[in-house]
Structure 1
Amino acid sequence: MITLNEAEAVEVNLSAVDEGDENRAFQALDSLTGIAADFLSENEEADAERVILSIENGAQAAAEKEMELVTINSILSLGKLARKAADNGFESALGKASIAIGKLGKTAAVHSLEAGSKVAATTLMEIWNFFPEQWDQEKVISFSLLFKEIGTSAARQGMEDVVLSAVTCLGEIGKKVAAKSLELETVSSLLLLEEIGKLAAENYFDEALSSTALSIEDIGKLSVKKGLNDAALQCQWALETLRVQAEEKVLNNSSIVAEVALDNFKDVSYTDSEEKVEKFQVIKTLQKKIQSNMKIQ
């Protein structure tokens, strides 16, 4: 395969996608991935980030044209670059590659590219699992938001399997941060799971709604164990909301799952619900700020 320089690869990538030429798009992607990897090896992080953006732009165009194989290969290439960035200690490049993957997962879901959106979720989770100790509060919430965006976009397109993948990944993040007694991050993950769960109910996704309730229950149990009272309360509120929605939509399985899960939190008490609502609103505001910084619409 002919190796292109950066300028050639960027041009070929976009023109190939515009013309629907997968082979040329793969050639350009291969060249761009190699160029970005070389920049990372040479400690040229800013240059690597520029190429990562070029890969993302081409992949976004491919997803919008429903070129699923190009989208998937781009996601996998970005995953490799994210891991290389992390190995070399380049947090900024790691963040940009990860966000690009999440945004591609959302675009893939919007265009009903089920395999592409699932690969994005899986790749993001692999990155999370490889480097869990590197994530500060903003990065944890960023990853959580990316999974939420994939899940909600998939729900709107009727892709329950993708919703299940997103819920599973978001649930794993929630359990991880709860185990570390990171209450704000835990509440954040619970709020996002509830958001996905509501859409699952609206679309009559009984399995996805059940999975959401189970993830919330697991996070809640850890929250109680760690004394995270706000998180435990949010579990209770979210499960009650989802239980009611499940009953309204006659989703019998998820209704039972949510009701049984609620039994774990019947002893959770609070003295000032208005204060809790205000605290949770602060977290939602933080989520919106981070989402805006990631330039996710």
Structure 2
Amino acid sequence: MSSMDERELAEIRMIEDGLRKAYDGDAKGVVDVFSGLRDFAVQLIHLDLTAENEIDAKALIIAMGDIGRMVAEKRMEIASIASVRSLGEVAVEAANCKRESLALKALSGLGELALEFAGKGMDAVARNAAETLENLGKNSSEAKMEVLASLSETYLMQLARKAMDENLPETWAAAVNHLAGIGASSTGKEMENSSVGAAILLEELGTAAARKGNEPQVKVVIEALEKLGRELSRKDSKNALIQTVWALETLRVLAMEYGIETAVNAAKLALEALNTTGIPDEEQNLERFQEIKEFHRRILRKS
């Protein structure tokens, strides 16, 4: 038996072992399996780029997601956190090695698990996933991998929406702030679309919160937008800054409409704090921002 055959057999056995341990509720055993599957996946990432290695690595990532869903079903918190950590590490390694398709696969697996955890009320695990998504987004931004950064943002937006539906305020706030964190790191000419996208997604979350009359959540979004705007202003990222200002103005008007006075005042103060001197033509910005919204829709479909 060749070394490749031996490795593939070991991978299959480990996947089967992970599924069995998850079914039996063996949290420690599942944690060990995730560690082993992560190591196998990282090894494949560093091998020659062949169709066989690519398929093998994707199969491992899919298996990690399957086991992750099983431990979520059983509310196995430690094992669930291990699934987040392992998929996150695989995604980062793939991104660092410019293996974008594998990074996307791992990121998508992580994003779907994050939604699963929130849907089952696993607040601590969902917050851990939100932090990991931010780290992936920032790492992707540094590597100038726009699709990965934007997909991280999109999953954080979806996680915030799921947390809103499931009444998980801590997960909701974490997702919002981690989303803003990616936007703040994605400045510069090559990655500014990601910053613009973050502001657009934050506006959507703030709008949803305002329409529900949820004052604390609206204020969290306003604070996140102000922090994002300050960072964009500091880095002279004008296009993203104007979208941030538009988002704040939208939330100010909505807060007035729904009688959320503290949010109105918070938005006013945030707007006063941001310098929009030298902003490009509004019509050009509007067209570009519509293109970025469509870009988010496309990458989500591709994932």
Q: TM-score normalized by structure 1?
A: 0.81
* Alignment-mate amino acid for residue 166 of structure 2: Q
Q: Name the residue aligned to 2:40.
A: 35
Cα separation, 1, equivalents of 2:195 and 2:274: 16
- Work out whether residues 56 and 74 of structure 1, in 8 Å CA contact, stay in contact via their aligned partners in 2: yes
User: 6, 24, 37: which one pairs with 2:11?
Assistant: 6
Confirm or deny that 1:133 pairs with 2:142.
yes
User: 71, 82, 91: which one pairs with 1:62?
Assistant: 71
* Alignment-mate amino acid for residue 61 of structure 1: M
Cα separation, 2, equivalents of 1:42 and 1:119: 30
| Aligned-residue offset at 1:241 | 2.2
Q: Name the residue aligned to 2:302.
A: 293
Q: Name the residue aligned to 1:169.
A: 178
Q: Name the residue aligned to 2:220.
A: 211
| Aligned-residue offset at 1:20 | 4.2
Cα separation, 2, equivalents of 1:88 and 1:281: 32
Deviations 1:168-218 (A, max 9, x none): 221122222235574432221111011122233345554443232123223
Q: For the structure 1 residues 22 and 41, does the alpha-carbon distance in structure 2 shift closer, same or farther, using more than 3 Å as the test?
A: same
Q: For the structure 1 residues 28 and 107, does the alpha-carbon distance in structure 2 shift closer, same or farther, using more than 3 Å as the test?
A: same
Cα separation, 1, equivalents of 2:38 and 2:241: 44
Q: For the structure 1 residues 183 and 80, does the alpha-carbon distance in structure 2 shift closer, same or farther, using more than 3 Å as the test?
A: closer
- Work out whether residues 188 and 283 of structure 1, in 8 Å CA contact, stay in contact via their aligned partners in 2: yes
Deviations 1:145-188 (A, max 9, x none): 12212222112211121122112221122222235574432221
Q: Name the residue aligned to 2:4.
A: none
Q: Name the residue aligned to 2:243.
A: 234
Q: Name the residue aligned to 1:255.
A: 264
User: 91, 109, 117: which one pairs with 1:108?
Assistant: 117
| Aligned-residue offset at 1:128 | 3.9
| Aligned-residue offset at 1:51 | 0.8
Q: TM-score normalized by structure 2?
A: 0.80
Q: Name the residue aligned to 2:200.
A: 191
* Alignment-mate amino acid for residue 108 of structure 2: I
Cα separation, 2, equivalents of 1:41 and 1:138: 21
Query: Please, which runs of 5 or more residues in structure 2 have no aligned partner?
Result: 1-8
Cα separation, 1, equivalents of 2:286 and 2:140: 33
Q: Name the residue aligned to 1:159.
A: 168
Alignment length, in residue pairs? 291
Cα separation, 2, equivalents of 1:102 and 1:168: 16
Query: Please, which runs of 5 or more residues in structure 1 have no aligned partner?
Result: none
Q: Name the residue aligned to 2:6.
A: none
| Aligned-residue offset at 1:62 | 2.8
Q: Name the residue aligned to 1:74.
A: 83
Identity across matched positions, percent: 27
Q: For the structure 1 residues 121 and 269, does the alpha-carbon distance in structure 2 shift closer, same or farther, using more than 3 Å as the test?
A: same
